[in-house]
Amino acid sequence: MVSDTGNHRVLVFDAGGKYIRTIGAPSTNVINQDTASATATTTGNVTADAPGEHGHITAADGTFFRPLGVAADNQERIYVCDCGNDRIQIFSLLGEHLSSSEVSFEKPTGICVDSFGNALICYSRGVAVFSGCPGVRLSDADE
């Protein structure tokens, strides 16, 4: 698995390096911070703050804006750090969107999942550890 950050997608290859599929779709979100206008080029809710502040865009499930870290667990789930959308998304090996994190991670960049279902997530404010089955919720209750 390779996060293709610039093209807002994740590519899946077999052990021999042969391309298998693309996971996700681009969610190119643009916010003009000078005028506080916001535009989302994919389905999603858009809200913008006052000029000069950051707007907040809720992108559609299964779409990415600058995906970075990618990991797989022993339950055949793929975890993607959707850095530009401040969330973790979980997919099946076939590319079907299973869930998105219920808590927001500011700019998640890395993730690993152990054989017990514990996830270690690196993001701009530090590191978060979730125990149990993070592919189901990744919510505050899992902390």
Per-residue pLDDT tens over the stretch 52-78: 344 445 688 999 999 999 999 888 899
Could you give the C-alpha distances from 115 to 68, 122, 133, 134, in angstroms and in order? 22, 18, 10, 12
What pLDDT, on the 0 to 100 scale, is given for residue 51?
A: 39
More confident residue, 110 or 35: 110
Mean predicted confidence (pLDDT) in 87-102: 91
Q: What is the rounded CA–CA span in Å between residue 119 and residue 41?
A: 31
pTM of structure: 0.74
Per-residue pLDDT tens over the stretch 17-36: 999 999 988 875 544 444 44
